[in-house]
Amino acid sequence: MLKDVEITRAIVESYMKELLDSLTVDVAIVGAGPSGMVAGYYLAKGGAKVAIFEKKLSIGGGIWGGGMGFNKIVVQEEAREILNEFGIDYKPFREGLYVADAVEVATTIASRTVKAGVRIFNMVEVEDLVVKDGRVCGAVINWTPVKMTGLHIDPVTIEAQYVIDSTGHEAQITQYLLKRGLIEKIPGEGAMWAEMGERRH
């Protein structure tokens, strides 16, 4: 057999085994930005079976560009412990502010999260939630390229005890609940909250 065909077999078999094993998880996290990955890391360390579904090819969400494309990240005192836990380097700037490299932050968190046992399915988009008896119990997923091209292809379903919406400002997953009338507003949303919550560093 061609070596390339063996390689293909290795890829397809190992991916499919992992996908089939992930059809039922404890926690499904939507979005592999820093907060989604950090959540997955701590949950996996606590013993949960966790899968992250990320619609882009790469993880990291909006962190790569730092501010305005200047790829540095500033962390406040309260979050310094997380940098320490993940082993990310940082330098003090002024009192209570620490500067880290955006590329190092994104990749170190992801590296450590996967090593902690979290499976990250990149290029997979969550299209909808599965709701039963008024409780979220799964998610409906599809390949992102399918969504990008507008091809008419049905999604498949995974089961999860909990689904965490880590899609950022858009709260895209929570919107599905709103649209179906299962919640009336996104918790914490409002003019004040926008003030406090929208800027993240």
Please give the residues from 26 up to 55 whose contact with a copy of itself meets the rule CB under 8 A.
Answer: none
148 is an interface residue for a copy of itself by CB under 8 A: yes
Between 81 and 148, whose beta carbon lies closer to a copy of itself? 148
Between 42 and 143, whose beta carbon lies closer to a copy of itself? 143
| Interface residue with a copy of itself, options 145, 187, 188, 197 (CB under 8 A) | 145
Between 81 and 170, whose beta carbon lies closer to a copy of itself? 170
CA 69 to chain centre: 21
Q: With contact defined as beta carbons under 8 Å apart, do 190 and 63 qualify? A: no
Say which residues have a Cβ less than 8 Å from residue 22's Cβ, sequence separation at least 6: 51, 119, 121, 158
Using alpha carbons, select from 75, 87, 77 the residue that is nearest to residue 41: 87
Per-residue contact track with a copy of itself, 2 to 31, x per CB under 8 A? x-xxxxxxxxxxxxx--xx--xx-------
| Interface residue with a copy of itself, options 82, 137, 171, 186 (CB under 8 A) | 137
71 is an interface residue for a copy of itself by CB under 8 A: yes
Q: Give the residue carrying structure tokens 């005192």.
A: 77
59 is an interface residue for a copy of itself by CB under 8 A: yes
Q: 132 — phi, psi (to 5°)?
A: -135, 130
| Interface residue with a copy of itself, options 136, 141, 164, 173 (CB under 8 A) | 141
| Interface residue with a copy of itself, options 26, 35, 45, 122 (CB under 8 A) | 122
57 is an interface residue for a copy of itself by CB under 8 A: yes
What are the CB-based long-range contacts (under 8 Å, 24+) for 164-170? 164/27, 164/28, 164/29, 164/30, 164/36, 164/39, 165/30, 165/31, 166/29, 166/30, 166/31, 166/32, 166/33, 166/35, 166/36, 166/39, 167/30, 167/31, 167/33, 168/31, 168/33, 168/61, 168/62, 169/198
82 is an interface residue for a copy of itself by CB under 8 A: no
| Interface residue with a copy of itself, options 84, 187, 189, 201 (CB under 8 A) | 201
The interface with a copy of itself within residues 150-179 (CB under 8 A) comprises 151-159
